[in-house]
Amino acid sequence: MGYLFAAMAVAWGTLFLYLAYLGQRQAQLSRELTLLQQATRDSAKKEE
Amino acid sequence: MHRRLFRWRLAVAAAGALMLLALYFSLVYAPTERTMGQVQRVFYFHLGNAWNAFLAFFLVMVASIGYLKTRSRRWDIYAEALAEVGVVFTTVVLITGSIWGRAAWNTWWTWDPRLTTTLVLWFIYDGYLALRASLENWETRARLSAVYGIVGFVNVPIVFMSIRWWRTIHPVVISLSGMDMDPRMVPAMLASLLAFTLLLGVCTVLRAQISQSADALQSMKDAFRQD
Amino acid sequence: MRAYWRQVGWILWKELRAEWRTRQTVTSMAIFAFLVIVVFSFAFDPTRDVTRQVLPGILWIAYLFAAVLGLNRSFMVERFNDSLLGLLSAPMDRSTIYFGKAAANLLFVLLVEALSLPVFLALYDVLPDLRLEELLLVLLLGTLGFVEVGTFLSALSANSRSSELLLPLLLFPVALPVVIASVQLTAVLLAAPAAAGAVAPGWAGLWSLPWLKVLLVYDGVFLLLPFLLFDYVLEV
Amino acid sequence: MPEIGTISLAAALAAALYAAATFGMAAWRRSEELARRARWASVAVAALETLASLILFYLLGTSDFSVRYVAEYTSRNLPPFYRLVAFWGGQAGSLLLWSWILSLLGAVAAYQRFPGQPAMGFAASSVAFAVDVFFLLILNAVTPPFARLSPVPPDGAGLNPLLQNPGMFIHPLTLYVGYVAFAIPFSFAFGALATGNAGRPVWVQAVRSWTLFAWLFLTVGIVYGAQWAYVELGWGGYWGWDPVENASLMPWLTATAFLHSIMAQERRGMYKAWNVILVALTFLLSIFGTYLTRSGILSSVHAFQDSALGQWFFYFLAAATLASIVLIAARWQQLQGEQELESYASKEAGFLFSNLLLMAMAFAVILGTLYPLITRWLGQGEITVGPPFFNQVVVPLGLALVLLMGLCPFLGWRRTNGGQFKESFLAPALVGVVVAVGLALAGIRIPGALVAFAIVAFVLSSLAAELWREASRQALKNGEGVLRALGRLLARERRRYGGHLVHVGVAVMIIGMTGIGFFQVHATQSVQAGQAITVGGYRFAYNGLLEKRQPGRDVVMADLEVSDRQGRPVASLRPEKVFYPDGQNSTEVAIHGNLARDLYVILAGWQADGTTTFQIYVNPLVQWMWIGEYLLVVGTLLALWPGRRPRLQGSGADGAAAGSGGDDGGPAPAWPEERAEVAELMVEARDLSKRIGERLILQGISLQVPRGQFVALLGPNGAGKSTLLRVLSLLSPPSAGTLRIAGQDPLEAGDSLRRRLALLSHNTFLYGDLSARENLYLYGRLYGVENLQARIVQVLERVHLTLFQMDPVRVFSRGMQQRLAIARILLLSPDLVFLDEPYTGLDLEAAASLNSILAELKAQGKTLFLITHSFEAGLELADQVAVLVRGRLVYQAPSSGWSVEQYRNVYLQKAGSVK
């Protein structure tokens, strides 16, 4: 019986870990995006 | 943009619901198998994962051919996403397979042809991801990993056949197919199969979106650097 | 059609000449093979019959890893002076380069095998009941399959920085059927005639096993596949 | 007598080998003389085979039991007609028939002339005879028909009673001719591929008529076989999805697909690769079909049990498949269609969909037939797939196909204009719906049948409408009565309306199939004399058994009086059971049929106490199938009749496309096209662009470089200079735009064009481990330089490296390596030289010697293309300058005699401003 839970835990564990990893990368990318947009806005302001 | 977002949420919700349904079916509805007892219930997940891993690697081949024909970045992005999700699924299959082996026949590894092929597949597509990691210029990376994607998958039937023959020469205690399928097990199997296919879709699209936004970011950076 | 094979011949000639000048690859491969065989003979006590089952494994591990050394070098040498671009601009089909290189690699590996086989037979005193000509055929077919895939993947991995690391990682999973088939066939050939599951001597016995068919199919597929896909690998 | 037979077969084998070889040589060397000799040999083969076949007929006729084949398949009391039929009763005989027909057809094909491309005809005949060699080999080695039998038996084993039926003459003969005749289009396809003009229309015409000929025989064979099964085998059906029947259906499906898509290639030059594949597939499937029947690996009512022969067929099949794959792959470049599919509402798209449907049906049939084999191979034991699988899969696809058949006449070529489609489509669609509703009201409730009948009505009315519309248009045009116009139209457009008649035939057959498929009523009952069985509204009164003795067999008949619902007598039927002295027996079915339905009674058996069991079927509309069949045959004959050849327009609607249209009638070019015209413009590019993924590296590059000019290309780093060089030197294809080098299109000219250009770059392409001589020797061989040794010595002299020619290049200094690279260019003496920053890393003295060599090359009339970003060297020779910035040619002008200053200003002004 224990093995069933072990196997289930592993199966769900890896899947959610992977999903979390993807989510985390997505967040990190969007952070960088906002940083970049902000930088372009500064340089545009600087040129006027 | 709004419509795509809505569809995306719908897909995720559907995947979740189907997953719960699969859980209910396999843990409650399906009868406990006589010889192996409760642990047999992991079979549904094991099968769902295995089939979808094969499907993912088949789609990698399709995307690779697509890239070689059209040379458009989208195919390459999907090839990479599918390969990655495929490797995750294969890992799950291997682990659940060996745990199940441990419970049912108290050996960690049963050398069942399907399980061993999945192991070989796991190696092939680890090589695929390593190849992708080692090439910097994205165009060569896309082209070469497309070629390896095709070679990798074409190899699968031959691997399966040789392992099947190899195993018949070394008869092993019990093979996975030895179970009798009680009719009530079928819905559980189908539900989990479908649930994982949807999960495969969701993960691939998510992973693809990440690459696309990484691309967009990169091109913006290039533009930013040049002017 | 005839010009095609002549050009393949010239690529093969170039490989052999370049190798003859330094003889560096073949010697290092041969020494590596000897090394593996000798180390294994230390690890396993050659007299007990349990080692007899493991003999084919030793032989093929020595050969395949030596082959990987050679395969790795075959396309790295093209990177100096960008000589690959010179070949690509020559008026010939790009797959001639593949067949030329594959033939050269095959010859090198066969040479190494020829050198290290007597050592192996002597060290593990397998001589008396050996079916030599069938063994040679199995060696040839197994090496051919391995070298075909190896050359193709070495061309592929030559583009990346860490090709020494990448080639074995890519090559062995894909080449698994060849490994299994060759080891099984060699096991049958090396086994004592009375041993269980021994197969009648002569080709018919060998043919009854699925392994010879696996080797032939594998060699066929991986002769055709590179021919179709090689242009994409060498695209400049 | 049998000895003469064996000798003639052996001689035929030798002659066939000779014919195949000489035809092959004739094709290779394009010599008419060799072809004449080969034609003689082909006639010899045909004659010898005919002789052998006549001898076998004679032996069978005179029942000379000293020959094993005769003893096995005939007996004394076999009526003479069936003795002749026994010719193809057994293995050896049917193979002799095969090879006999093949040799006859081969001889005819050998005499066919192809004005433009004689080589193709020769290559085709050589393939045809190569196939014949295979059959003759088997006839001589594996199954010799004239093998002797030492103890001569008094009487033969006799022909299997099942085959003793007049149908036995037509069904197998037509089927064999159909199978064998597909070998001819296969050899034409092979011949065209081998001689490289698979793309040209000349091939299409030859293959189309041969395929139609083979298709006609195969169709008759299949449909007659179905009819024979219905009448003779007596299980109430006409198609049992028996592996052997499927084996004949598979090539028929691919051949039908080919016949349709060949029209698209003839008119629009499309689907070329697809057609070649279809032709090869059809022949391979027919061989596969005979393999299935011969090797008995699949149990079936027809199969001959002889696995040794199966082995041979398998190897032949594998070899032929491999050869066709390799050849098609090698010629893939030439098989690209000229026209793209413009819209999905067009005839070409109609062909595409019909092909897809046909291929899907073929695949389903193959899968179903091989299913027992596949499951056995996968280790799950033999699971055979019955008719339900096929009916569920193939029948719906067939109905969809028939629907498409109704639609096609309305679709125009290239694109159908909406208006014309709508107004001509409405009437037939209406008819279809009306029929469906009418039948539903009349009480037919089965949806499948309703759909089928509606489709048939739609198809018939659409064909009729199209015919009427065409005839009335003709009548209007030349002011005559519609009927006379119709007559003239049919006479003139024979091919088109033959096709339409075939479609009508198919539709009529569908009526029959639907009738028997959905509305068959069947009952099995045992009755005493005097009782009656009522089935499907008919009353069968059984009056008792009669017995009759005939020479060689005695017949038991049951007497039945049939009357319909109102009691009116309809017919009296006498189903029989025939008993032969040697213990075999056969059932003779009693059929009474009219257009509406067939009454079909089988005498199953009887007991001592007089109860007799009958199997009774009422098959409505089944006669329509045979009517449809005859219509089909007439239609094909109409289409096949050698009427006026359709005008051979260029393979593109807009006149002669650059590819195949032009050189059809011209003098036959040397086989590996070596057209050595001297072009005025050495490099001619029109808005070239190169895209890597989403980034455009080069945009809108248009460049003309006349022969003998020296062009200098300037540009900052990252402007795409080396990418442009790679595109111009044919190393990587442009993403868009057109490029012509030395007046030729690189795709068409292929590798031979690259022999005339060379690349000199800052890295030298030299092999460190090879000596200077060996490097030159390698490249000399690859480029095919004549009297290589002398040229090498002369070139090494020119760059003062003779002293070091034996040393490995890796010990050379940078300057020496550069000089050796230049020596390589001199050795290959190309017409067009690309120089990619050759001056980098050269000291003054080396740069000067490079300059003098470039000047010498320019003097020899070579065209040079220099790419550099440094101004010190090389510019003084330039006749033209171009500046490339960020993938665009921003400046281009003649610049002979400019000073370095002028170049610098132009560069700064052009490239500088953008920075």
Q: Which domain holds residue A46?
A: 16-48
CA distance B131 to B151: 13
CA distance C67 to C77: 16
Alpha helices (H) along chain C: 2-22, 24-43, 50-76, 83-89, 95-123, 132-157, 163-174, 176-190, 203-208, 210-233
CA distance D614 to D482: 55
Over 50: is that where the pLDDT of D291 sits? yes
CA distance B120 to B160: 9
Size of interface B-D (CB pairs under 8 A): 11
Rounded to an integer, the average pLDDT of D677-691 is: 76
CA distance D878 to D865: 9
Do the beta carbons of residue D139 and residue D45 sit within 8 Å? no
Q: Is the ipTM of this complex over 0.90?
A: no
User: Sign of torsion, CA D831 D836 D837 D841?
Assistant: negative
Contact A/C (≥3 CB pairs under 8 Å): no
Alpha helices (H) along D520-672: 623-640
Q: Which residue of B has its CA nearest to C230?
A: B147
| Alpha-carbon D509 to chain mean position | 27
Query: Encoding tokens for residue B90?
Result: 């294969």
Residues 6 or more apart whose Cβ sits within 8 Å of residue D908: none
Contact D/B (≥3 CB pairs under 8 Å): yes
Find, among D143, D127, D42, D44, the residue nearest to D88 by Cα: D143
The pLDDT score that the predictor gives to residue C101 is: 93
Rounded to an integer, the average pLDDT of A4-26 is: 83
Q: What are the φ and ψ backbone dihedral angles of D337, each rounded to 5 degrees?
A: -65, 150
Query: Encoding tokens for residue D461?
Result: 């009315």
What separation in angstroms does the CA of D229 have from each of D449, D584, D588, D602? 24, 19, 12, 14
Over 50: is that where the pLDDT of D636 sits? yes
Residue A40: inside a domain, yes or no? yes
Of the spans D12-21, D296-305, D588-597, which averages the highest pLDDT?
D12-21
pLDDT band at B225 (very low <50, low <70, confident <90, very high): low
- The DSSP-derived string for C80-103 is GGGHHHHHHHSSS-THHHHHHHHH
Residues 6 or more apart whose Cβ sits within 8 Å of residue C110: C139, C140, C143
DSSP at D533: E
Q: Are C236 and D765 in contact (CB < 8 Å)?
A: no
Q: What are the pLDDT digits (tens) for D171-216?
A: 778 888 888 888 888 888 888 887 776 666 767 777 788 888 888 8
| Alpha-carbon C155 to chain mean position | 16
The torsion region of residue D779 among left (phi > 0), alpha (psi -120 to 50) and beta comes to alpha
Over 50: is that where the pLDDT of D658 sits? no
User: What would you report as the CA-atom Rg of chain C, rounded to the nearest whole angstrom?
Assistant: 19
Lowest-pLDDT choice from D369-373, D670-674, D902-906: D670-674
pLDDT band at D650 (very low <50, low <70, confident <90, very high): very low
Do the beta carbons of residue B100 and residue B78 sit within 8 Å? no
β-partners of residue D883 are D714, D891
Residue A7: inside a domain, yes or no? no
Q: Are C160 and B135 in contact (CB < 8 Å)?
A: yes
Lowest-pLDDT choice from B29-38, B202-211, C220-229, D215-224: B29-38
The pLDDT score that the predictor gives to residue D300 is: 53
Cβ neighbours, 10 Å, residue B47:
19
User: Sign of torsion, CA C40 C45 C47 C48?
Assistant: negative
- Helix (H) / strand (E) containing D716: none
pLDDT band at C65 (very low <50, low <70, confident <90, very high): very high
Find, among D305, D286, D170, the residue nearest to D226 by Cα: D170
Cβ neighbours, 10 Å, residue D149:
15
- Chains adjacent to D (≥3 CB pairs closer than 8 angstroms): B, C
Residue A32: inside a domain, yes or no? yes
Architecture, CATH, for domain D1-161: Up-down Bundle (1.20)
- The β-bridge relationship of strands D569-573 and D553-563 is antiparallel
Q: What are the φ and ψ backbone dihedral angles of D555, each rounded to 5 degrees?
A: -115, 130
Identity of residue D198 = A
Domain D519-624 has CATH 3.30.70: no
Identity of residue D308 = A
- The β-bridge relationship of strands D532-535 and D710-714 is unpaired
Which candidate from C159, C180, C184 shows the least CB-CB separation from B144? C159
Using the Cβ of B163 and the Cβ atoms of chain C, whether some distance falls under 8 Å is answered with: yes
The pLDDT score that the predictor gives to residue D663 is: 33
Alpha helices (H) along B170-227: 185-226
Q: What are the φ and ψ backbone dihedral angles of B54, each rounded to 5 degrees?
A: -60, -45
Do the beta carbons of residue B72 and residue D695 sit within 8 Å? no
Using alpha carbons only, what angle is made at residue D90 by residues D84 and D95, rounded to the nearest 5 degrees? 95
CA distance A15 to A20: 9
Residues 6 or more apart whose Cβ sits within 8 Å of residue D912: none
Do the beta carbons of residue D562 and residue D569 sit within 8 Å? yes
User: What would you report as the CA-atom Rg of chain B, rounded to the nearest whole angstrom?
Assistant: 20
pLDDT band at D652 (very low <50, low <70, confident <90, very high): very low
Residue whose entry in the numeric block shows the structure tokens 């969809």: D400
The pLDDT score that the predictor gives to residue D297 is: 57
Strands, sheet with D681-692, edge to edge from the N-terminal-most edge strand:
D695-706, D681-692, D736-741
Residues 6 or more apart whose Cβ sits within 8 Å of residue D613: D524, D525, D526, D604, D605, D606
- Residue percentage of chain D with pLDDT more than 70: 85
The pLDDT score that the predictor gives to residue D342 is: 67
Query: Any idea where the domains of chain D sit in the sequence?
Result: 1-161, 165-416, 418-492, 519-624, 681-914
Q: What are the pLDDT digits (tens) for B138-184?
A: 888 899 999 999 998 888 888 887 777 776 655 444 444 444 556 66
Mean pLDDT of chain D: 78
- Chains adjacent to C (≥3 CB pairs closer than 8 angstroms): B, D
Residues 6 or more apart whose Cβ sits within 8 Å of residue D463: D406, D409, D500, D503, D504, D507
Residue to substitute from B82, B202, B220, interface A, most A β-carbons within 10 A: B220
Query: Encoding tokens for residue D752?
Result: 């031979």
Query: Any idea where the domains of chain C sit in the sequence?
Result: 2-233
Q: What are the pLDDT digits (tens) for D746-771?
A: 777 767 788 888 888 888 888 988 89
Residue A27: inside a domain, yes or no? yes
Cβ neighbours, 10 Å, residue D422:
11
D563 SS3 class: strand
Distance, in angstroms, between C6 CA and closest chain D CA? 9
Residues of chain B neighbouring C172 (CB-CB closer than 8 A): 123
pLDDT band at C141 (very low <50, low <70, confident <90, very high): very high
Q: Which pTM was predicted?
A: 0.56
CA distance C4 to C95: 9
Find, among C85, C224, C202, the residue nearest to C149 by Cα: C224
Cβ neighbours, 10 Å, residue D763:
16
Residues of chain C neighbouring B127 (CB-CB closer than 8 A): 166, 169-170, 173-174
The pLDDT score that the predictor gives to residue B147 is: 92
Over 60: is that where the pLDDT of B65 sits? yes
Residue whose entry in the numeric block shows the structure tokens 């040839």: C140
CA distance D821 to D761: 9
Domain D681-914 fold: Rossmann fold (3.40.50)
Identity of residue A48 = E
Q: Are B96 and A11 in contact (CB < 8 Å)?
A: yes
To the nearest 10 degrees (0 to 180), the angle between helices C2-22 and C95-123 is 50
Distance, in angstroms, between B101 CA and closest chain A CA? 10
CA distance D183 to D20: 14
The structural domain count of chain A equals 1
Query: Any idea where the domains of chain B sit in the sequence?
Result: 40-210
Q: Are B161 and C170 in contact (CB < 8 Å)?
A: no
Residues 6 or more apart whose Cβ sits within 8 Å of residue D10: D140
Q: What are the pLDDT digits (tens) for C162-178?
A: 888 889 999 999 999 89
CA distance D50 to D39: 17
What separation in angstroms does the CA of D437 have from each of B166, C11, D134, D442, D457? 62, 75, 57, 9, 12
Using the Cβ of C219 and the Cβ atoms of chain D, whether some distance falls under 8 Å is answered with: no
Q: What are the pLDDT digits (tens) for D407-450?
A: 777 677 666 666 666 666 777 778 888 888 887 777 777 777 78
Q: What are the pLDDT digits (tens) for D390-417?
A: 777 777 888 888 888 877 776 776 666 6
CB-based burial label for D783 (10 Å; 0-12, 13-18, 19+): buried
Residue whose entry in the numeric block shows the structure tokens 């055709």: C224
